[in-house]
Structure 1
Amino acid sequence: MGQHLVRDQRIYCQQGPDYLAATDDGALSGLSFVFKDLFDVAGYNTGAGNPAWLESHASANATSPIIENLLSAGAMCRGRVQTDELAYSLNGQNIHYGTPENPAAPGCIPGGSSSGSAVAVAQGDVDFSIGTDTGGSVRIPASYCGLFGLRPTLGKFDLANCFELAKSFDTAGIFARDLSVLTSVYRELSAETIPDRVDPIPTLYLDRFMAQQLSEDRYQRVHDRCRWAGIALEEKDFMTQSEWTLDALSLLFRSIQGYEIIQKHGRWLTEHERSLDPAILERVKWARTIEDTTYQQGKLRQKAFRMWLYAQLDEHGGVWLLPTTPAGPPSLDITPQAMADYRTELMGLTAIAGLAGFPQLHLPFQGMHDGPCGMSLLGLPNEEPRLLAIAARLMAGESSQ
């Protein structure tokens, strides 16, 4: 990979930096990456996907420790990439800078909000990228663009010098075409050891209701993958025998998220309403209606859900298999109402790891009839090494592109 790229503004930010050299040799020497336009680099402006934000904020006086760690591990940076506006969308569409073409599914949305991070990797510009995931912004574009994508345990990576969306859920995450690359990046950022093999081999559990929602193609691929890997797969009634529904989880997540966005950015949003995408402005207006008591009750419900999920995972081997997204990526010409309905369904799935703060690793399945999609491994807190080892066994022989 050369140092220079064709910098399509739908993918690459114009304010720079365009290139950062590795600061030392290390385990990531020879690898290249890009980072989402939420992370600071000293001397440059962070734009958060909105020109008014870019213009109304001074250049950063410090660099994200995540970027510093990657450079010191030998990786070189090929630039800053676009995000959905203020990271408050899951589509990958930005009215100010355009929608990146999905290399894995032309004519479909790439997913967001880490759209540039996903597309730059999917089209081969870089080896890996850094995004953020609050409500699914790594997991969803990883699914739509046919990549591996990791949302780690809440608090795993240092988010100093990074744009805050919703403090209860914000994480940094990793995209890669190859699982081995993602694993190497995770190892450097976490300083954790990844086991070479899984011992003992776990049984993977799939919620029966979720299994029934899978396409026949994806359902068969899941069972084939587990059989080839020598991993038992068992379906159980988790959600249907609990008080939790995906619709309720979606609303709970969105309520907490919306309240925290207004608490953090309410004044700026009021002063710059005219700069916002109408669809995002509608979310902002809804978020303003969330009362303090609703938020406080929501946080109690979040804690109860986390305790329930921890108990279920702990009792059943520590790992769930679940769909990352309901299906492949929606078409670019999907109607606004259809997209709104789909978003609610989508966030029911992504809210599981978000509300709990647990790690989730997306695994891409290639050649699916309904477009790029796959499944995720969901684990207990700080069990990323185990998820990565299981994924290596499960995905042997199937790389992302």
Structure 2
Amino acid sequence: MGPLAGLTVAVKDLYAVAGQRIGAGNPAWLAEAAVQPRHAVAVRRLLDAGAAVRGIAQTDEFAYSIAGCNDHYGTPPNPAAPDRISGGSSSGSAAAVALGQADIGLGTDTGGSIRVPASYQGLWGVRTTHGLVDRTGLLGLAERFDTVGWLTRDPDVLARVAAVLAPDADAPVAASPIALDGLEELVAPDALSDWNRAMAALTRRLDAPVERVRVDGLADVQRAFTALQGWQAWREHGVWVAEHWSALGPAVRGRFEVASRVTRAEADAARDEVERFRVLVDGLAGDRPLLLPSASGSAPRRDADPATIDRVRRGTMRLTALAGVSGRPAISAPVLTASGLPLGLCAIGPRRSDRTLIAWAARTLSPLAPAGGGR
């Protein structure tokens, strides 16, 4: 018995599970992978707390996407919006939770890979403080941004997992949040309307207006994040990728091609820019939760063309990169849009406030009055 007794876990196929191979969403990688002799630290801690592994869940190739579309295995379902994509790269973990096949979706978040599927599928999700949860046994993408995260159907289970994986992450969080301003340039018009409705509902709940703040240069944040992520991704996987270009799906292959051309000078400049924005976010938010949409809109349709999905991805990463460059934890809480599609409301908190932030979000954002009726 333990605090997670009776709960099941869908493990993203980047974590070591004893007796299994890590597939990383790519059949060629899986075929060459060694059987793992022991569990990843995060998996072991969940098992020691009483949880049981329900299965290994699909991921976008090498976690280098936030769409959930895998050219080899297909797109996992989105039960909340069956005609829409699932969001990635923790796509399989999210779908398993949304379908009720598992209680916990253990995933990772580098550039939004927990928050985007949570947003698209109406789930709760947390990206933990960078470096807080031991990543031993996890196949990484970009060490500077990789984090352990998980998805659940309710905030109570989210908090129970945090007590196991991040027991000391209880730094204080101020009661009064601030909200990102200037979203007209960042989110789709219908999502902006839903966001404004959600903020109005939150204002009524708090009985006080939510202060709006502007972060200039979010396109620069995204560019710096993308360059440094690419540099590190190529250092991590470049040797294998260079020998297996034809084994990659087109979208991920294209990202690795770009990554292979990032120079050390560009990576160093990107690292300086990331540090500048880290300091900026710290000064702007302090210990207050910073609210923003988890994605630039609701999930694109499954039959959307690749160019549309890539445009949505780039727009979303202008939002998700803020948590990445700051190293802060981020919670995605579900809000129902006017069209009945899920949309995530993200709260970024101070570093090492993961458990406190989850508790704050559960009190403050759940259940936030839906912006519209059911679908």
1:69 to 2:45 alignment = yes
User: Which secondary structure does the structure 2 equivalent of 1:144 belong to?
Assistant: helix
Listed as ranges, the matches of 1:1-400 within 5 Å are: 25-192=1-168, 202-210=175-183, 213=187, 214-230=191-207, 232-236=209-213, 238-240=214-216, 245-314=217-286, 317-369=287-339, 371-397=341-367
Alpha-carbon distance in 2 for matches of 1:273, 1:52: 11
- Asked if 2 retains the 8 angstrom alpha-carbon contact of 1:247 and 1:344, the reply is no
Normalising by structure 1, report the TM-score.
0.87
Is the alpha carbon distance of 1:54 and 1:175 closer, same or farther for their aligned partners in structure 2, counting shifts above 3 Å? same
Is the alpha carbon distance of 1:228 and 1:358 closer, same or farther for their aligned partners in structure 2, counting shifts above 3 Å? same
Give the aligned CA root-mean-square deviation in angstroms. Answer: 2.1
Is the alpha carbon distance of 1:267 and 1:193 closer, same or farther for their aligned partners in structure 2, counting shifts above 3 Å? closer
Letter in 2 for 1:228: R
Runs of 4+ with deviation above 4 angstroms: 211-214, 229-232, 398-401
* Alignment partner, residue 12 of structure 1: none
Letter in 1 for 2:205: W
Is the alpha carbon distance of 1:79 and 1:231 closer, same or farther for their aligned partners in structure 2, counting shifts above 3 Å? farther
| Structure 1 residue 231 displacement after superposition | 6.0
Alpha-carbon distance in 2 for matches of 1:108, 1:33: 24
- Asked if 2 retains the 8 angstrom alpha-carbon contact of 1:218 and 1:374, the reply is no
- Asked if 2 retains the 8 angstrom alpha-carbon contact of 1:202 and 1:231, the reply is no
Is the alpha carbon distance of 1:294 and 1:396 closer, same or farther for their aligned partners in structure 2, counting shifts above 3 Å? closer
Alpha-carbon distance in 2 for matches of 1:193, 1:356: 16
Once the two structures are superposed, residues 134-160 of structure 1 have per-residue CA deviations (whole angstroms, 9 ceiling, x without a partner) of: 111001000001000000100111110
Once the two structures are superposed, residues 220-240 of structure 1 have per-residue CA deviations (whole angstroms, 9 ceiling, x without a partner) of: 12221342254641223x214
| Percent identity of paired positions between Structure 1 and Structure 2 | 36
Alpha-carbon distance in 1 for matches of 2:115, 2:166: 19
Once the two structures are superposed, residues 95-134 of structure 1 have per-residue CA deviations (whole angstroms, 9 ceiling, x without a partner) of: 1111111101111100000000000000111111100111
- Asked if 2 retains the 8 angstrom alpha-carbon contact of 1:247 and 1:345, the reply is no
Alpha-carbon distance in 2 for matches of 1:161, 1:393: 34
- Asked if 2 retains the 8 angstrom alpha-carbon contact of 1:328 and 1:370, the reply is no
What 5-or-longer segments of structure 1 have no aligned partner? 1-24
Alpha-carbon distance in 1 for matches of 2:369, 2:158: 12
| Structure 1 residue 207 displacement after superposition | 2.1
- Asked if 1 retains the 8 angstrom alpha-carbon contact of 2:169 and 2:356, the reply is no
Normalising by structure 2, report the TM-score.
0.93
Alpha-carbon distance in 2 for matches of 1:331, 1:280: 20
Letter in 2 for 1:43: G
What 5-or-longer segments of structure 2 have no aligned partner? none
| Structure 1 residue 278 displacement after superposition | 1.2
